[in-house]
Amino acid sequence: MMPIAPLMIEHRLIERMIKVMKGEVEAMGREGNAKPQFIDGAVDFIRTYADRCHHGKEEDILFQLLSQKPISDHHREVVEELMQEHVQARSLTGQLVAAKDRYVAGDRGAVSEIRTVMSQLVGFYPIHIEKEDRHFFIPCMEYFSRHEQDDMLEAFGEFDRTLIHEKYRAVIEKFEGK
């Protein structure tokens, strides 16, 4: 299996969540209210799965390994674009949390911002995913030997194994006041 296969499989799950979020944006438009519990779940998915798990593998493994290779200027530019897009997604997610918090505190006008930011996320991910799937991942594998690709696949697996422990250690430390 090519090391990028897990990343592309993760994209399919992210696309499913984006479809659900799109439906929620449409429901908010019809109903005029937000569902804070849904937003909390969507934010958890984006922060934990899409960002920490998926983008984490890209940033901490794939991009780091590419930085050690003599890659083309074009691919170097794409890595920079993808990194900036990851920052953009984190910013939008933070904006969504802030708008949801205002809504929960009684600011019913925050529904409009929630819809706007969630719509931006819904619009962002398909374009980002297409760039990675169709124009970046496969060509970049040419920079790696078969052995390096196998090592990368193993590193992705180890990343996944430690992620759940990282997440829930942070939850406990938060409760402990650390």
The average confidence (pLDDT) of the chain is: 95
What percent of the chain is predicted at pLDDT more than 90?
Answer: 92
Instruction: Give the chain's largest Cα–Cα span.
Output: 56
Q: For 102-132, what is each residue's pLDDT tens digit?
A: 999 999 999 999 999 999 999 999 999 999 9
Q: What are phi and psi of 32, to 5 degrees?
A: 75, 15
Backbone region of residue 106 per phi and psi (left: phi > 0; alpha: psi in -120 to 50; beta: other values): left
- Each domain of the chain, given as residue ranges in start order, spans 4-176
Q: For 9-28, what is each residue's pLDDT tens digit?
A: 999 999 999 999 999 999 99
Confidence band, pLDDT 50/70/90 cuts, at residue 164: confident
DSSP 142: G
Domain 4-176, CATH among 3.30.1330.20, 1.20.120.520, 1.10.260.40, 3.20.20.60: 1.20.120.520
Confidence band, pLDDT 50/70/90 cuts, at residue 2: confident
Is residue 137 within 8 Å of 8, Cβ to Cβ? Answer: yes
Residue 5 pLDDT exceeds 80: yes
